[in-house]
Amino acid sequence: MNPLFLQAERFVCAEMDGRLIGFGQVRPLDGGGGSFEVASLLVDEAERGKGIGSAIVRRLLERHGTKGTLYLLTLSKTTPFWERFGFRLVGSDQDTSLPALLRLERSAGTLVAGGLLGQTVVVMTKDE
Ligand SMILES: CC(C)(COP(=O)(O)OP(=O)(O)OC[C@H]1O[C@@H](n2cnc3c(N)ncnc32)[C@H](O)[C@@H]1OP(=O)(O)O)[C@@H](O)C(=O)NCCC(=O)NCCS
């Protein structure tokens, strides 16, 4: 997770017995230009596969409504999870129309994920 400019009110958190077990956020990508990013989604390893990640995403989408275009960056292996919520892969022909901050984050993510995990970082979007 990019630790810069975190704002608590953007997060949806899941709690069990007073323990934080998952969270995710939607944050603006271009300061009011209408592009947003679903980011920082994480569920405690021991609690995965119980619907918690899906519940967090559903709540984030519900709260976001139709305010603008949603994007996200994810590892290529996680795209099936996001497709369930209506996200689709952004084709390389659409690359230049992506918000600059997203392209920057993807480059940084690819360095880390590509180098350490041998994974590709992909961009997905959800139509309004
Ligand atoms: C991705 C993540 C948030 C899902 O949380 P979760 O609480 O396990 O999600 P759910 O229980 O709601 O899973 C919903 C479904 O998605 C599937 N799924 C979860 N992670 C997946 C992945 N990486 N690839 C494919 N499918 C996946 C689950 O198998 C489950 O399928 P099922 O309903 O048929 O059993 C969690 O695995 C995680 O924290 N991963 C590490 C961080 C990460 O990858 N974050 C997203 C990147 S932006």
Q: What is the pLDDT of residue 118?
A: 82
Is the pLDDT higher at 58 or at 108? 58
Query: So where are the chain's domains?
Result: 8-126
* Average pLDDT rounded to a whole number, residues 83-106: 90
Name the strand (E) or helix (H) holding 14. Answer: strand 11-16
The Å distance, Cα 81 to ligand 1 centre, comes to 6
Span 40-49, pLDDT tens digits: 999 999 999 9
Span 14-33, pLDDT tens digits: 999 999 999 999 999 988 78
Contacts of 77 (CB under 8 A, 6+ apart): 119
Is the pLDDT higher at 2 or at 45? 45
**Ligand 1: lining residues by beta carbon, under 6 Å:** 41-43, 48-54, 72, 74, 77-78, 80-81
Q: What is the pLDDT of residue 1?
A: 67
**Tokens describing residue 19:** 């323990």
Q: Selecting from 1.20.120.450, 3.10.20.30, 3.40.630.30, 3.90.230.10, what CATH number does the domain 8-126 have?
A: 3.40.630.30
12: helix, strand or coil: strand
Distances (CA, A) of 125 to 16, 87, 88, 90, 112: 31, 5, 6, 6, 22
Distinct helix (H) and strand (E) counts, the chain: 3, 6
